[in-house]
Amino acid sequence: MSEPGTGGTAGGGPSAQETYWNQLVLLKVVSGYVRRHRDKQAWWINRIGLFKAIATSGTIGAWAVWKEYAFIWGIVLGVSQVIDAAKEYIPQTKNRRAASDFVSIIENVIIDARFEWYEIFDGKYPADEIMARWRKLAKLLLETEGKYFPDGLPDDPARQKLAEQDASAYFTSNYGVGDSENG
């Protein structure tokens, strides 16, 4: 058995504290993953915006200089206008907005969970209360994912690895331990 308040298990499995800590780490990894997803969407949105700016300005200037290619300039300008009209339907715009909202919510959850972690680590809660708090965090993550990414996020192993490295650095910086150890 573990010491009172630590929430350990007699069967040798993870303690309630470890379970809560692992959920806190998972929240940070998921937040980092979605933040990187958001940034990738922003990269595409910026490229589309740059194309529109160049196409619009460049087409008007080119049209004035090379009037014999007016048909080509008209097509380029038309494509730019169609992209502008469709920007709300371009998946990157929707995905970026969803990712930004998701990250904001999850980072707020992490702030609350970090404060809660100090009390858990100090042994202020028995195992059943810790597990109830863990369940709350797990449900918040699941509900938030379902709301903002009902079809899920694209699987990207490189992004996952970077998010795990970011989380490890975060926990090392804030708690002096890596992502899989309890604080």
- CA separation for the pair 35, 101 (Å, rounded): 10
Per-residue model confidence as pLDDT tens digits over 94-132: 778 889 999 999 999 999 999 999 999 999 999 999 999
At 2 the pLDDT is 34
pLDDT value for 3: 37
pLDDT, tens digit, 9 for 90 and up, residues 5-28:
444 445 557 899 999 999 999 999
SS3 for the chain, per residue?
Answer: CCCCCCCCCCCCCCCHHHHHHHHHHHHHHHHHHHHHHHHHHHHHHHHHHHHHHHHHHHHHHHHHHCHHHHHHHHHHHHHHHHHHHCHHHCHHHHHHHHHHHHHHHHHHHHHHHHHHHHHHHCCCCCHHHHHHHHHHHHHHHHHHHHHHCCCCCCCCHHHHHHHHHHHHHHHHHHHCCCCCCCC
Mean pLDDT of 131-139: 96
| pLDDT band at 4; cut points 50, 70, 90 | very low
Question: How would residue 65 be classed by pLDDT, with cut points 50, 70 and 90?
Answer: low
Position 147 scores a pLDDT of 95
Average pLDDT, the chain: 82
pLDDT band (50, 70, 90) for residue 87: low
How far, in Å, are 88, 132, 134, 157 from residue 139 at the CA level? 30, 11, 9, 24
pLDDT of residue 94: 76
